[in-house]
Amino acid sequence: MASDKVLEFTDANFDTEVLKATEPVLVDFWATWCAPCKALTPVIDDLATEFDGKVKIGKVNVDDNPETPGKYGVRGIPTLVLFKGGKVVDQLVGAVPKSQLQDLIKKGL
């Protein structure tokens, strides 16, 4: 992860960092071998800077943390899920344009 504003979420910290967060949280479910996930990395970094202080943005490596993706029905990656108040607001699957991700985030603001 290139940006220090993009957090790492795990099975161990997901409840605390995402579900109990006071701000909206965008979670990127990804894997190191996934080319579309890699293509999305600079976009996620940009969004973390753009929405810094308003939305928490982080990634869950599905290979290292299989429990959390299973709970949320993640079948393909990248899957981006927006949480607010511990609940799923909406999600997108695939390497979507930045504008679609901005629209997704704005649903939580």
DSSP 70: H
Q: Does the annotation mark 79 as catalytic?
A: no
- Would you kindly state where each structural domain of the chain is located, as residue ranges? 6-106
Residue-wise pLDDT tens digits, 13-33: 999 999 999 999 999 999 999
Give the pLDDT confidence score for residue 1 in this predicted structure.
Answer: 46
Task: Please write the tens of the pLDDT for every residue from 58-89.
Answer: 999 999 999 999 999 999 999 999 999 999 99
24 token code pair:
């909206």
- Identified catalytic residue from 1, 21, 31, 34: 34
| Catalytic residue from among 25, 37, 55, 60 | 37
For 6-106, which CATH class?
alpha beta
Residue 96, pLDDT > 70, answer yes
Q: Chain-wide mean pLDDT for the chain?
A: 96
Give residue 3's pLDDT band: very low, low, confident or very high (50, 70, 90). confident
